[in-house]
Amino acid sequence: MRALGGIIRLSVLSEGGANSMVGENLPRSLKWQPALEGWVPSALTTANLDDAAARLTVLDQRLLPHSIDYIDCFTSKQVCDAIEELAVRGAPAIGIAGAFALVLWAKNEWPVIREAKRQANPKSDVDSVTVFASKLEQRGREIAAVRPTAVNLAWAINELVAPARMAAYRGESADRITDDLEEHACQLMEDEIYSCKLIGENGAVIISTLAQRLGRPLRIETHCNAGALATAAWGTATSIIYHAFENGDVEKVWVDETRPIEQGARLTAWELEQAGVPYTLISDNMAGSIMGQGLVDAVIVGADRVCANGDVANKIGTYPLAIVASYHGVPFFVAAPHSTFDKSLVTGDEVVIEQRDATEVRCMPYGHQWLPIAPTECDVFNPAFDITPNELITGVITETGIEFAGE
């Protein structure tokens, strides 16, 4: 990775003591509502789940910035649909949502499946905790496959399935394991919120150093939405921006619109406006122009996967942005929690890149509608992500400091 004038070789940059309020009170993308005490499934169908049942409430990001609406998800399928259809998006948020999808399967769906099997065959071994654990793992694999590029989804599923497997081996009951799953998922969410806050504090130290060198606040460019909407709170890239802005070290943010889904225009611009951070929206192909004019001091983006060698998978368009930044000598930072790191993949060449529907390129999103902008049957290539080689990245800012910083 590219060194930044030799300034950064740190393991921990922050003690976690900052009290920044900028960006702290944005609407949460995910809310978990436990079942009311004493609630049990009342019939052999999940269609009868009611307001007393456990649910994951998702902020429908497809409708932003024009409407703030929430979706109540009572089943794992409803959560998976929300993930696949981009009602919830962003690697950390997808991971948390996937964890709660597994919890909902165990709490709301498995009892119905078990009762149906019991009635069909009274001698079935469906009450065995081994059967429950096996079905749980199977459902976990299905959830993890919904969006394969974002490693946080598979990571979160494994964080729940691995201890559940051990608990089943010890002979603990399915009900006990289910309660533990819920507690663990809630803890993952809290841990992710704290990690994002630390990323912001650590990144703010770097931004402060750059601002001191320049003798003025920075103009930062960002791509897609690595904000509070993409996590449980704070965001990754935006957490750094919020904390640095609170310190007086950010003048403005250049927001790439981020075709084809316009996450920058619809989501990041909305977030920054809510937080009171000055920003300017630009089309993706303007980055080279503004950098060439010396109008960008640093780039900060998020990540969907960080490989062992430091290659980064992120929203399509990140790679060319890194190339332009490298050409113009602009520091290029990635902000990501350790849950986004995948040491099992040596390089970015091994990352499975999700291919999305052609409609996303042929049309422009507007709420739940797609407005045509191209011939209706034109051929389309629509990879959701690209790979940025590690040599184009100044450093990956995490909850513990900065990774892969060059000398």
| Ordered structural domains, the chain, with CATH | 30-191 (1.20.120.420), 200-403 (3.40.50.10470)
- Please state which of the ranges 14-23, 33-42, 297-306, 307-316 shows the lowest mean pLDDT: 14-23
Average pLDDT of span 267-271: 96
pLDDT of residue 384: 95
Average pLDDT of span 188-197: 95
pLDDT of residue 125: 63
Summarised one tens digit per residue, pLDDT across range 334-390 is 999 999 999 999 999 999 999 999 999 999 998 889 999 999 999 999 999 999 999
Find, among 395, 389, 388, the residue nearest to 332 by Cα: 395
- Mean pLDDT in the chain? 89
**CA angle, residues 147, 57, 89, in degrees to nearest 5:** 30
In this predicted structure, the answer to whether residue 120 has a pLDDT above a threshold of 70 is yes
Average pLDDT of span 22-51: 75
Find, among 154, 194, 202, the residue nearest to 300 by Cα: 202
- Whether 304 is a known active-site residue: answer yes
Residue with tokens 């950098």: 291
207-225 burial: b if 16+ Cβ within 10 Å, else e = bbbbbeeeeebbbbbbbbb
Please give the residue that has the higher pLDDT: either 38 or 271: 271
83-103 burial: b if 16+ Cβ within 10 Å, else e = beebbbbbbbbbbbbbbbbbb
Angle between helix axes 151-169 and 91-104 (nearest 10 degrees) is 30
Of 249, 304, 342, 386, the active-site residue reads: 304
State the pTM of this model.
0.88
**Spatial distance between the Cα atoms of 2 and 92, rounded to a whole number of angstroms:** 26
Residue with tokens 């497997």: 165
Q: Which two tokens mark 101?
A: 């999808």
In this predicted structure, the answer to whether residue 119 has a pLDDT above a threshold of 60 is yes
Band (30; pLDDT cuts 50, 70, 90): very high
Find, among 300, 342, 345, the residue nearest to 156 by Cα: 342
Query: What is the CB neighbour count within 10 angstroms for residue 338?
Result: 13
% of the chain with per-residue pLDDT over 90: 77
Residue with tokens 């081996």: 169
Length of the chain: 407
Q: Is the Cβ–Cβ distance between 200 and 250 less than 8 Å?
A: no
Summarised one tens digit per residue, pLDDT across range 130-170 is 888 999 999 999 999 999 888 899 999 999 999 999 999 89
pLDDT of residue 126: 58
Q: Helix, strand or coil for residue 258?
A: coil
